[in-house]
Amino acid sequence: MLQKAFKDECIAKTQIKEWYRRFKSGRTSLDSDPRSGRPSTGTSSDNVERVRVAVEQDRRLNVRELEDELGIPKSTVWRILTENLGMTRVCAKFILKLLTDQQKNLRLEIAQDNLEIINSDENFFQKVITGDETWVYGYDPETNQLSSK
């Protein structure tokens, strides 16, 4: 009768029999029985605080360095950073403030040279070949033979 009335949303007959058996034996709660296994203690408030303090002291630490420094598994560190602290992974290869004055000046010179080339050659952009950001490594047999000795 239940399956006719509720169709796909009806609870299975075996589940009803299981509940009946449990309540008949004296059970009074609908909560699930505790399961065996190791309790999840990795994301304790103490560990969350330790990760937060470490990241505030040095924002350039990566997950592996935090794992080594704090003795917390890498997966737990990642979970704490993303779920508990709400941080996201940002990939920044160079941040301008980390460059030396010499590196900044070199970048400025290169940018000015490129600007001069563009202004002097009308067809410059027709000579440019574009592609994706895939890294391509050159293969030089002579260099590889020398390095294997």
Sign of the C-alpha dihedral, residues 25, 29, 30, 36? negative
pLDDT digits (tens, 9 = 90+) for 107-142: 999 999 999 998 998 888 888 877 766 665 555 555
Cα R_g (the chain), whole angstroms: 31
Helix, strand, coil content of the chain in percent (nearest 5): 55, 0, 45
Confidence of residue 5 (pLDDT cuts 50, 70, 90): confident
Residue 42 tokens, joined = 């990795």
Confidence of residue 93 (pLDDT cuts 50, 70, 90): very low
Between helix 63-70 and helix 45-57 the angle, nearest 10°, is 120
